[in-house]
């Protein structure tokens, strides 16, 4: 069996009964279950509909996300999450660059790297080199004034942990940011790159080895082995090309507001919902959320 999930941005309330019922009837689905009134609903179908992506495209233009996945094993034991533009709204290195006066230049490199147009390691080294001489205290300033959490992140982490799950934050960004975000949202561990500073100033160098695409896959392998669970027990979420490895290996890989090249390779795409979408995909009702 397969489970079809319809959801939207919590503020939009676009999932209406006629929409759910018409789709359920067209696909021969079972009874609809409302996970959150006007926000998220699901029903089961015996086979994946041949016109799924056509319907998906139509619903996207109306602000509705549509996902189909195997019903068995969809509630996961571990969350593996990217940080920049996933658990937070910003790209940390872009915000640091803005403080250094090279914001536009760095943001352009970031955009191309996250869409898979540039080598991640080389792009990171180039961007970090442009931060040379920046006062180390700027990191705290950026955290306090420029960084905001992605909606639904706290509920996602805390709800999965309340059900016995494990949460790991793995980022191509920097430990100075992941440690703060991980603590605020309740992650069990975090991994990221290290910005090197000397005499209170950033040197323009990053510690090696660089945590990129393969390191995120390595984190998936190491943490699941340590916990004694399968990669199929993991739900992973990210938005950039360096996330594709872990998204492809995890039991459920979610492209969240992702770059075009990333969406093209992922069957689970959330473009309108927030991070609570990952709970709806696992069958949680809003009344079960820890907030």
| Cα 85 to Cα 2, 63, 91, 200, 270, distances in angstroms | 30, 20, 6, 28, 13
Catalytic residue among 38, 65, 84, 274: 84
Cα angle value 8/235/156 (rounded, 5°): 55
Instruction: List the catalytic residue out of 38, 54, 58, 82.
Output: 82
Helix boundaries (H) for 132-174? 138-145, 153-162
User: Catalytic residue at 82?
Assistant: yes
Handedness of CA 147, 152, 156, 158 (dihedral sign): positive
Residues 6+ apart with CB under 8 A from 46: 1, 2, 28
Q: What distances in angstroms separate CA 16 from CA 19, 21, 32, 36, 51, one per listed residue?
A: 6, 9, 12, 11, 21
- In 3D space, the residue among 81, 79, 109 whose CA is nearest the CA of residue 94 turns out to be 109
Active site includes 84? Answer: yes
Query: Which residues are catalytically annotated?
Result: 82, 84
């Amino acid at each position: 069996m397969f489970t079809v999930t319809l959801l939207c941005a919590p503020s939009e309330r676009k999932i209406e009964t006629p929409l759910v019922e018409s789709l359920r009837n067209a696909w021969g689905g079972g009874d609809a279950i409302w996970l959150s009134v006007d926000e998220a609903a699901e029903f089961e179908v015996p086979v994946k509909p041949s016109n799924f992506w056509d319907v998906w495209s139509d619903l996207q233009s109306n602000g509705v996300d549509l996902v189909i996945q195997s019903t068995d094993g969809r509630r996961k034991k571990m969350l593996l999450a990217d940080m920049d533009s996933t658990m937070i709204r910003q790209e940390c290195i872009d915000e640091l660059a803005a403080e250094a006066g090279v914001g536009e230049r760095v943001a352009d490199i970031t955009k191309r790297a996250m869409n898979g147009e540039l080598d991640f390691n080389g792009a990171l080294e180039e961007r970090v080199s442009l931060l040379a001489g920046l006062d180390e205290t700027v990191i705290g300033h950026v955290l306090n004034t420029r960084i905001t959490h992605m909606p639904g992140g706290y509920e996602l982490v805390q709800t999965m942990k309340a059900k016995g799950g494990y949460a790991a934050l793995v980022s191509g960004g920097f430990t100075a940011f992941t440690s703060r975000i991980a603590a605020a949202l309740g992650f069990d561990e975090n991994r990221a790159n290290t910005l090197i500073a000397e005499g209170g100033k950033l040197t323009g160098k990053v510690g090696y080895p660089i945590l990129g695409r393969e390191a995120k896959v390595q984190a998936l392998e190491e943490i699941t082995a340590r916990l004694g669970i399968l990669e199929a027990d993991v739900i992973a979420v990210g938005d950039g090309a360096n996330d594709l490895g872990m998204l492809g290996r995890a039991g459920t890989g979610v492209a969240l507001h992702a770059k075009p090249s990333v969406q093209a390779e992922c069957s689970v795409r959330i473009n309108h919902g927030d991070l609570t979408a990952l709970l709806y995909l696992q069958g949680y009702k809003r009344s079960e959320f820890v907030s």
